Structure 1
Amino acid sequence: MDLLINILKRFWIINCFGIFVLSACTPASSQEKLLTSKEGNFSILMPGTILEEVSYPTKGINNRNWTTIKSASIYSVTHSTLPKEIAPQRIPKVLQLLIKTANQTNFIQGKQVSQSSVNQSGYNCQDFTLMGKPSTSLQEEIKKKGLNINNKLLYQRSLLCMKKNYAVEAVIITPSSEELKTNGASFIKSLNLKL
C-alpha cells in the first residue's frame, strides 16, 4: 500500500505542475465551453480556449489534462488511470493524503479553508479549498512559464474524485478570492461524472 500511496503523491505533484506547464501558453477567452471526455466519463464547463495534454506515463499512471487561463486564474481538469484498482474502503484515506500533499507541495504554511465529502456516480470525492503563499518550487515553475505570482496569496479549490483505478480532478488556482467564489465555484459544480 505504501508504494501505491507514493505513486499517488507523484500523480498529484505531476498534475499540479502540469497545470502550469500547459496553461502559460493558452489564450484566454470569456466564453465557457463544454468539455466532454468519453474515455473519462465526465463533462465540465471550462472558460476560455482549452489546451489538452494527453499523458504523463509515470509509474503506470496515464493522465489527460485540459487547461485554460482566464485573467490570472488557472482552470484545469485531469483524468487519470491508475496502475491498479484501489479498494473502496481505502479511497477516503488516499484522498486525504492527496489533499495533505497538495497543501504541502503548493503552499508555504498553507491553510485548508474548507473540505466536504461528495459522492457522484459511485465516485468518492473531496471538495476542498486551500490558501497560502505559493511554495518556492511552485513560484519558480510558474515564472518559467511567464506567470508572475510572487508574494501573492493564492487560493486553490479542487474537486478530487476516485473510483476503482480512475481519478478525476477539477482545479482552479487563483490570486482572487472573488474569482474563487464566483467563477471557480461554478466551474467546480459543473463537473459531471458519469458511470
Structure 2
Amino acid sequence: MTPGNTERSGYHHGGLRQAVLATALEVIAADGPGALSLRDLARRAGVSHAAPAHHFGDRTGLLTAIAAEGFGLLADALAGGADLADRGRRYVRFAAGHPAHFQVMFAPALLRADDPELTAARERAGAELRAGVAALPGRDARATGIAAWSLAHGFATLYLTHNVDEAVGGLPPEEYFDLLTGFLTGPPGPDA
C-alpha cells in the first residue's frame, strides 16, 4: 500500500476531520480565515474535494467547528483559575497559543450562531469567565465581567496583531498582561 493510500484509509476511519481542522488552523494562522477554501484543504490532505464537505458541509461549517473547538479549549484553559486576574492571564495565554482559533471565535459573521456545539462550548467558556467575577463581592458582576473581558481580549488582540511588540519586548504576553492589571489594581502613582 502506498503512503497516500495508508493516509487516506486512516482518514476514512475518522482521521480526515482532524486533519482538515489542523490544516485549516495552519492556513488561518498564516493567511487569515479569508484564505480558507475546502477545495484547497482537500488538496493539501490528498483527498477528494468532496471529503471535507462531507464532514463540515461548507466553509461556514468548518469555521463553526473551529470556533466550537476554540471555545472548548478556552473553557479548559480558564477552568480552575484562582481569581479574576489569573483567568485574565489564562485568557491571554490561550490567545497567544491558539491564534487561529482566536481569530475565528470572535468573528460571528463567519459562523453559524445557532450551531448547538458552538453554543454549548461558548456557554461553557462564558461560565468560566463569569466564575472569576462571582468571587468579587459588592460589584456589578455584568459590568465587571465586561471590563475584565475587554482588558484581556483587547490586549490579546493587540498582541496577536503585533501592535504592542515593542512594549511587550521579550516578556511572555501573560506577564505583560500582569503589568497592565497592576496599573488598575495597584496603588495610585505619585501624580494621582
Q: Same fold (TM over 0.5)?
A: no
Higher strand share: 1
Task: State the structure with more CA Rg.
Answer: 2
Higher helix share: 2
TM-score (norm. length: structure 2): 0.31
